[in-house]
Amino acid sequence: MAIDAATVRKVAHLARIKTPEDRLEPLAQELNGIMQWIEQLNEVDVDGVEPMTSNVAQPLRLRDDVVTDGGKIADVLSNAPKSADGFFVVPKVVE
Amino acid sequence: MSDLTKLTLKGAVDGLKAKAFTSAEITQAFLTNIAASNPTLNAYVEVTADKALEMAKASDARLAAGQGGALEGAPLGIKDLFCTDGVQTTAGSNMLRGFVPPYESTVTANLWRDGAVMLGKLNMDEFAMGSSNETSAFGPVKNPWKSKASNAELTPGGSSGGSASAVAADLCLAATASDTGGSIRQPAAFTGTVGIKPTYGRASRFGMVAFASSLDQAGPITKTVEDAALLLKSMCSFDPKDSTSLDVETPDWTASVGQSVKGLRIGVPREYVVDGMPAEIQALWDQGVEWLKAAGCEIVDISLPHTKYALPTYYIVAPAEASSNLARYDGMRFGHRAAEAKSLTDLYETSRAEGFGKEVQRRLTIGAYVLSSAGFYDAYYVRALKVRRRIAEDFDKVWGQVDAILTPSTPSAAFALGDKQIDPVTMYLNDVFTVTANLAGLPGLSVPAGVDSGGLPLGLQVIGKALDEATVFRVGKALEDAAGFAAKPETWW
């Protein structure tokens, strides 16, 4: 399952990372190297094994659905690239 | 007063309580050291001198009144992964350059509750993705250690390279760090310092910039095992703001440090002998076994058969989680936004291409790839999660026979900056001994135990059962005592 430049272009787009054309081939080679090394996982017998999604032996906690914090518009906007009148400002998009 | 910076955390806390010196004095001593050393070592990305002196003054007032917490007046360095209210937090990335959190991480809030003083924010690999600190947008940290055989500048390891370098060079009493695949223990081993990653869920992840959430865990880098026990206790707490925080008591681990290890059963896993491992690493490991035997431990040969699959498993699980976690950096609400773009998609893609460095982009691409279709999701991601369970089960099976496990911390001593940048897989192999504890959620401690032929520090790792840091600290202290590691780097910076 070799990764080619077209696959890298597709995956880079999925990851929303702009990748110049001349980087696609070198990246494909790097990813192939990494994925080939990872292929050894196919040797492991995983029949009937439950996927391990968490290290935590306790069930996720439930809490009351109540407001515990908020009203911090200035804090929320304090790191916005651009904001005005209590709103995030984003570039005009017409598509 | 310059010798105040050579104190251990415990020694400093005791000295402050006894009024042998003030927090303002020791804080100023560290600030003086940092001003002289940081231009070369690059351990701090930001020094918060005014804030430090202000906090020290407040601590001195509490100490004078006979009050104060467990860390009252002790100057610490904070890895730049922990959000600090009103102080820039970057995770070593251009994506977050200029990001000033309006809130405090739970781990650092616990430290300030206990009276600690913040000296500044410590350099790290970008988003904690790296083993040499070379992926930082602020440039690599330098290891204060140099080999007798060469004048080359060495890596302090990563991702917590700033934390390790700062502790080794006496630029703070101790530091916070974080560990996703070995990012506390590998830098500790490379710098002759002590580092522990506690059981997953002991320390809150709230306000800690996320990399791979099922693996990320905070812990300290310190000068001694006792200091690690002291600082870890402050850092850990049950936190309702972290859904995976464990609702358990945080024990006083300092009480375990120094307790006899007589009768403890120590596992030595045969699969941790890896191809190409230097003879010095094997010799150190053998020496560790002898030390523990002499201290009354019973040594048990054990097998952890899925060990060799741990790193490839990690390089599916961690990038997959990272690709999800780092999706938040879209240039809209915070973080870097590209100046110009042709469309919304172009704006996302350009902002992320400009904000993320090469290694982060590489891992996000791997993550997107292994999750990119239903077929890949099953073939890579779900398979990796199943192998992860096999790795965790390996440990479960041996806990009946042993109380703790002894391994080397790293497969080599610190290497030269620039040495391993060509091939990503070669760099990833640094974490071969540490990553299993992350996948299984177990506590792992690295203790400096010897030096190689070039005089560079080497570490031994103790892995314990979930929530049994107490035994890990006991064994760690026994190794520390037996090794009597007292070497310090010669000042060249």
3-class secondary structure, B221: strand
3-class secondary structure, B426: helix
pLDDT of B64-93, one tens digit each? 999 999 999 999 999 999 999 999 999 999
Count how many pairs of residues, chain A against chain B, have C-beta atoms within 8 Å: 159
Average pLDDT over residues B125-134: 97
**H or E segment to which residue B473 belongs:** helix B469-483
Q: What type of residue sits at position B257?
A: V
CA distance B157 to chain A (A): 21
CA distance A9 to chain B (A): 10
Q: State the pLDDT at residue A1.
A: 56
Number of domains in chain B: 1
Average pLDDT over residues B398-422: 93
Task: Please state, in angstroms and rounded to a whole number, the distance separating the CA atoms of residues B225 and B272.
Answer: 24
Chain B CB contacts of A55 under 8 Å are 200-201, 214, 244, 392, 440-441
Average pLDDT over residues B400-412: 97
- Tell if the CB–CB gap between B352 and A16 is shorter than 8 Å: yes
Average pLDDT over residues B392-419: 96
Evaluate if pTM is beyond 0.95.
yes
Average pLDDT over residues B143-172: 97
The yes-or-no answer on residue B237 being catalytic is no
The yes-or-no answer on residue B358 being catalytic is no
Chain B CB contacts of A92 under 8 Å are none
Q: Nearest CB to B200: which of A56, A63, A81?
A: A56
- Tell if the CB–CB gap between A16 and B348 is shorter than 8 Å: yes
Domain extent at residue B66: 1-493
- Tell if the CB–CB gap between B333 and A80 is shorter than 8 Å: yes
- Tell if the CB–CB gap between A34 and B100 is shorter than 8 Å: no
Q: State the pLDDT at residue B186.
A: 98
CA distance B304 to chain A (A): 14
- Helices B225-235 and B469-483, interaxial angle, to 10°? 160
CA distance A15 to chain B (A): 6
The yes-or-no answer on residue B79 being catalytic is yes
Average pLDDT over residues A11-32: 95
Chain B CB contacts of A50 under 8 Å are 386, 389
Ordered alpha helix ranges (H), B5-72: 9-17, 23-41, 49-64
Angle of CA points B237, B242, B246, to nearest 5°: 50
Q: Residue B242: pLDDT above 60?
A: yes
Q: State the pLDDT at residue B274.
A: 87
CA torsion sign for B246, B252, B258, B263 is negative
Task: With beta carbons less than 8 A apart as the criterion, state whether B206 and B217 touch.
Answer: no
Chain B CB contacts of A51 under 8 Å are 382, 385-386, 388-389
- Tell if the CB–CB gap between B365 and A80 is shorter than 8 Å: no
Task: Please state, in angstroms and rounded to a whole number, the distance separating the CA atoms of residues B215 and B177.
Answer: 14
3-class secondary structure, B447: strand
- Tell if the CB–CB gap between B389 and A81 is shorter than 8 Å: no
Task: Choose among B58, B76, B60: nearest CA to B22.
Answer: B60
Task: Choose among A36, A11, A40, A53: nearest CA to B381.
Answer: A53
pLDDT of A35-49, one tens digit each? 999 999 999 999 999
Residue of A25, A40, A55 best to disrupt the B interface, most CBs of B under 10 A:
A55
Domain ranges for chain A = 5-43
pLDDT of B411-459, one tens digit each? 999 999 998 777 788 888 889 999 999 999 999 999 999 999 999 999 9
- Tell if the CB–CB gap between A44 and B309 is shorter than 8 Å: yes
Q: State the pLDDT at residue B1.
A: 45
- Helices A5-14 and A21-38, interaxial angle, to 10°? 90
Chain A CB contacts of B331 under 8 Å are 81
Q: Which residues pair with B298 in a beta bridge?
A: B265
For every residue of A47-68, DSSP letters joined together read TTPPP---S--SPPPP------
CB of B309 less than 8 A from some CB of A: yes
CB of B343 less than 8 A from some CB of A: yes
First to last CA, chain A: 36
Query: Chain A residue with minimal CA distance to B100?
Result: A79
Average pLDDT over residues B293-303: 98
Cα–chain-centroid distance for residue B236?
14
CATH of the domain at B372: 3.90.1300.10
Q: State the pLDDT at residue B427.
A: 86
Residue tagged active-site, from B159, B160, B234, B412: B159
First to last CA, chain B: 20
Residue tagged active-site, from B23, B59, B79, B446: B79
pLDDT band at A95 (very low <50, low <70, confident <90, very high): low
Residue tagged active-site, from B183, B234, B323, B446: B183
